[in-house]
Structure 1
Amino acid sequence: FDVQYEVERDHLEIRILPSSSFPKGALEQSAVVQLLVWLFSDQDVMDSYESIFRHYQQNREIKNGVESWCFSFDPPPMQGWKLHVKGRSSNEDKDYLVEEIVGLEINAMLPSTTAISHASFQEKEAGDGSTQHIAVSTESVVDDEHLQLDDEETANIDTDTRVIEAEPTWISFSRPSRIEKSRRARKSSQTILEKEEATTSENSNLVSTDEPHLGGVLAAADVGGKQDATNYNSIFANRFAAFDELLSILKTKFACRVLFEETLVLPKVGRSRLHLCKDGSPRVIKAVGVQRNGSEFVLLEVDASDGVKMLSTKVLSGVDSETWRNDFEKIRRGVVKSSLNWPNSLFDQLYGQDGHRGVNHPKGLGELQVSREDMEGWAERVVREQFTH
């Protein structure tokens, strides 16, 4: 990595060098990118990270040819952090045994903006008009939930990193960084993709967690999820201009009160890239808790700023604040897994068939050319759907 920080702009530049074995697929995970920014912008955090190897060298033991060590490290300053844990209390309720940390709210001021460059980030420019015929394998895709670890084989750096689903640890930064991907131009030409049948490899479901290298055999695997639970309300506010106007009408004309607003990124699911917009930036979803006449409901709106797809506004009733964080995580995954559609079967499980409704957008919303009358009609439909539950 080559890292430069500009104090005046509060801007961080991260160049991933060609010699780096860092998997490019990890750069599609918002949580990983924010963690990289945090690591390279805070020396205390870097010192903590490097202490892992130092503790390993100091404390490792080798007995009968088996090496072992008790994991430990020097934590960075944690003032203002919140840890979300699972565990159990002692019989006398005097002590609490923490068995698992499931979430971290990190009080950290990351650089305002960060530019990340990687050799794989490219954008097209006018080319010479040549035509290429490329044969594309049509081998079946293995569901990432059915991957198997092979401890004997090494990982190949040229294959995409596969994520083995596990109970994810989520992170949230008090002030995240706005991420920009620096792309280098490349000559464009006409490319014709020709499908060819490929023999199905018997190793297609096998992956390795070893450090990937050029001579590796299997696809690399990242075990365990890292969900980004950072609230991006301010950073991506411009993507929800019309939706925010809807909220304003609900408050002024229909006496609604906003209880909470949160804008979270959609997670990477399997090999899908629908969690990203066309420009490679994270696709986000906004959730707003609303109260009217003593009744509460939640509105969901998916980011369609790149024009790929426009989903209806979803109205949820019967949402339990105690389970909302887990519910919202399942919903975000469901949206990506359903190819940018609402996961209605999941909504049925969570809130019942009558606990969710879709409200169509007014015409012209994608071009932000909507009359005040149509906007008020949108708000009326939201209120009507909420009270027909």
Structure 2
Amino acid sequence: MKQVDRFKKLPDNARIQAMGNLFKYNDRLTWDIGVRIDNSTRQALKFSQLPYLSRQVVLNQTVAAIPPGFPVEFILPDNTLWQLATVKDCGLVKFKAGDEQSQYCFMFESEGKTIYLPQLELARALFFTNNYFANAALVSNALDFEFDVEHNPSSDDEEFPLDVLINALPTTNCPKILFDNEGFRYLLAWVLLDSDVKSSFESIYKYFSQELIKTNKFKRWTFRFDPPQLKGVKTSARGWKSPDENLWFINRIEALENLSFPDIADIGYFHPNFSENKPSSSKGTGGTYPQLPTQREIDEESDGSSDSESALIFCDATLINFNNSPRTRKVYAKAKAKSAGKEDEEKPSTLSPQVSTDDSNSRGDIPRATVDGLGDQTDNAHLYLNKFDSFFKMLEILEKEYGVKQSKPVVRKLPEIGRSKSHLLTTDSSPRCIAIVRIEYQREGYFLLEVDTSDRRASIATKVISARALQPIGLLRDFIPEIERRLLSNQFSWPKKYFDELVGEVNHKSIPHQQSKNKGSLSEEEVKRWAVRYLSIGKR
């Protein structure tokens, strides 16, 4: 993956060779971490930039680059079988300068391999995929001061009653923009609601406060923590290996699958700066996060300003997957009107081309940035079937009254394309989904593609595709990712030219939604009228 954002004072294609201790000069407010870069004399970056930082990662890429090393997959054993070790103990890392060789690792056996996993890299993959958690980890009881967890809160939402409400307190430094990422909502709930995971996160500060070494000029610390129980978690990574492939040193974790999540069904999130956008009946063209120019510079030294809105920037994602997938949504205290296609008016339209990854403070003079490096792969699209209630009722009428046969629906979360927010519902930032159903009518097969527009962000008709026309060129599932990409990149409308080229102009059509007299779902009579219009799908 080619990273767009640049580190201001690093050269092109700067490869990280080694990671060292955390340290802070006594006249500074923020913490640095030792790094060694193969074509630079720079020996430190900010700890808040950790979402970007792993051994052999290439920063300031001018071309897409795969980090050196070899791919490996392994299953994490019970934590009681892990041993404490250092980089030096492994013997595969040849870089000797700085504090690299003394950094702590976990060492364990998995499927015949001996794995050396740097503790900082595991913590990065679990917690530090955003700079908010990196900053909070070095503050005593930060999460308790910034969040309040309310169990079984009162709610007037019959469709989405809450089991837990996570309140970001007025004292929080957590940027509200992170809550648009469902993966972050899962991660935050995982840390706050699982006592083992929270203890793991808090152990970072425990060791930090106990083992901190102080001198007249600076403070320093060798990172370590107590991991949560991770037995059975599948890990995909890159690293160095011995000639017989029995010994591995992990440079970067790329994915964690089957993380254990508490048995909770519905979670709400409140932030004091949330402002609800009322849905608009007119068609919008979609908005984006408050963004900087195409290429931004991350200042390795400057602090964030307290006078500016946090911008969102992205780094190479670490993928996660939880074994339980609750529904999540944002909860609002106030609402305001939203005009079609426009973003939150509280956000600035332009921002400085330079940003800081540190929390804002009085010394800061450039906008702070929120780093998002988390890719959520939790399979939870089935949770949003209720968003298609009227659509499925219409299909049920077609089946019962007109002999239309239908397959089991497939529901997919629409992907994030670029920096558009079209893949999220504007009402609560829950995922926008697409339902795909195959039907048969009068001996002909058709695929129906229905997009969730329950937030009334736009009016998009149901797309109908002839199964006969599609059959010679392949399976629909092979084309769905490209259809989704074009849908979200095409001002939230079906890509007609693409369908014309795919199956022919006469082999696809759009059936507009039935209009409703009342706000909300369609009445029974309106659903029936919608169903009748589908009986014309075979007519040219």
- TM-score normalised by the chain length of structure 1: 0.65
Deviates more, 1:50-59 or 1:169-178: 50-59
Name the counterpart of 1:175: 325
Q: Distance in 2 between matches of 1:88 and 1:297?
A: 50
Q: Distance in 2 between matches of 1:57 and 1:4?
A: 26
Q: Distance in 1 between matches of 2:271 and 2:218?
A: 38
Q: Within the alignment, does 1:119 sit opposite 2:269 as a pair? A: no
Q: Within the alignment, does 1:364 sit opposite 2:512 as a pair? A: no
2:391 is paired with a residue of what secondary structure? helix
5 Å-filtered alignment, 1:369-380, equals: 369=523, 370-372=526-528, 374-375=530-531, 377-378=533-534
Does the Cα contact within 8 Å between 1:278 and 1:306 map onto a contact in 2?
yes
Q: Distance in 1 between matches of 2:305 and 2:266?
A: 32
24, 34, 42: which is aligned to 2:186?
34
Name the counterpart of 2:254: 101
Aligned positions, number: 344
Does the Cα contact within 8 Å between 2:176 and 2:274 map onto a contact in 1?
no
Tell me the amino acid that sits aligned with residue 531 of structure 2.
M
Name the counterpart of 1:130: none
Tell me the amino acid that sits aligned with residue 3 of structure 1.
D
Deviation at 1:16, TM superposition (A): 1.9
Q: Distance in 2 between matches of 1:60 and 1:45?
A: 23
Name the counterpart of 1:194: none
Deviation at 1:8, TM superposition (A): 9.3
Tell me the amino acid that sits aligned with residue 375 of structure 2.
Q
Distance 1:237 1:255, change over 3 A: closer
Distance 1:378 1:169, change over 3 A: farther
Does the Cα contact within 8 Å between 1:84 and 1:103 map onto a contact in 2?
yes
Does the Cα contact within 8 Å between 1:158 and 1:214 map onto a contact in 2?
no
Deviation at 1:150, TM superposition (A): 1.5
What's the Cα RMSD here? 5.0
Deviation at 1:310, TM superposition (A): 2.0
Deviation at 1:305, TM superposition (A): 0.7
1:116 is paired with a residue of what secondary structure? strand
Deviation at 1:31, TM superposition (A): 1.5
393, 407, 410: which is aligned to 1:257?
407
Deviation at 1:40, TM superposition (A): 1.0
50, 53, 77: which is aligned to 2:229?
77
Q: Deviations over 1:197-223 (max 9, x none)?
A: xxx98x722222122335422222233
Q: Distance in 2 between matches of 1:169 and 1:59?
A: 29
Deviation at 1:72, TM superposition (A): 5.5
Name the counterpart of 2:16: none
Distance 1:32 1:331, change over 3 A: farther
Deviation at 1:91, TM superposition (A): 7.7
302, 307, 313: which is aligned to 2:456?
307
Deviates more, 1:13-22 or 1:100-109: 100-109
Does the Cα contact within 8 Å between 2:179 and 2:330 map onto a contact in 1?
no
1:20 is paired with a residue of what secondary structure? coil
Deviates more, 1:37-46 or 1:81-90: 81-90
Does the Cα contact within 8 Å between 1:156 and 1:220 map onto a contact in 2?
yes
Distance 1:56 1:2, change over 3 A: closer
Deviation at 1:249, TM superposition (A): 6.8
- TM-score normalised by the chain length of structure 2: 0.50
2:459 is paired with a residue of what secondary structure? coil
5 Å-filtered alignment, 1:1-389, equals: 1-6=146-151, 11-54=163-206, 73-79=225-231, 81-83=233-235, 100-102=253-255, 104-122=257-275, 145-173=294-322, 174-184=324-334, 204-233=352-381, 235-245=383-393, 248=396, 253-258=403-408, 261-264=410-413, 267=416, 270=419, 272-288=420-436, 290=438, 300-314=449-463, 318=474, 328=481, 335-342=487-494, 353-354=502-503, 357=508, 359-364=510-515, 368-369=522-523, 370-372=526-528, 374-375=530-531, 377-378=533-534, 381=537
Tell me the amino acid that sits aligned with residue 36 of structure 1.
L
Does the Cα contact within 8 Å between 1:37 and 1:110 map onto a contact in 2?
no
Does the Cα contact within 8 Å between 1:30 and 1:282 map onto a contact in 2?
yes
Segments of 5+ residues of structure 1 without an aligned counterpart are: 125-140, 189-199
Q: Deviations over 1:20-67 (max 9, x none)?
A: 2111211222221221112111111112222344566788999xx999
Tell me the amino acid that sits aligned with residue 456 of structure 2.
G
Name the counterpart of 2:67: none
* Structure 1 or 2: more strand by fraction: 1
Structure having the higher Rg: 2
Distance 1:287 1:85, change over 3 A: farther
Does the Cα contact within 8 Å between 1:24 and 1:160 map onto a contact in 2?
no
Does the Cα contact within 8 Å between 1:266 and 1:285 map onto a contact in 2?
no
Tell me the amino acid that sits aligned with residue 458 of structure 2.
K
Segments of 5+ residues of structure 2 without an aligned counterpart are: 1-145, 155-161, 278-289, 338-348
Deviation at 1:240, TM superposition (A): 0.7
1:375 is paired with a residue of what secondary structure? helix
Name the counterpart of 2:65: none
Tell me the amino acid that sits aligned with residue 148 of structure 1.
E
Does the Cα contact within 8 Å between 2:486 and 2:495 map onto a contact in 1?
yes
2:333 is paired with a residue of what secondary structure? strand
Report percent identity of matched pairs.
23
Q: Distance in 2 between matches of 1:146 and 1:73?
A: 35
Does the Cα contact within 8 Å between 1:287 and 1:298 map onto a contact in 2?
no
Deviation at 1:284, TM superposition (A): 1.2
Deviation at 1:282, TM superposition (A): 2.0
Name the counterpart of 2:132: none
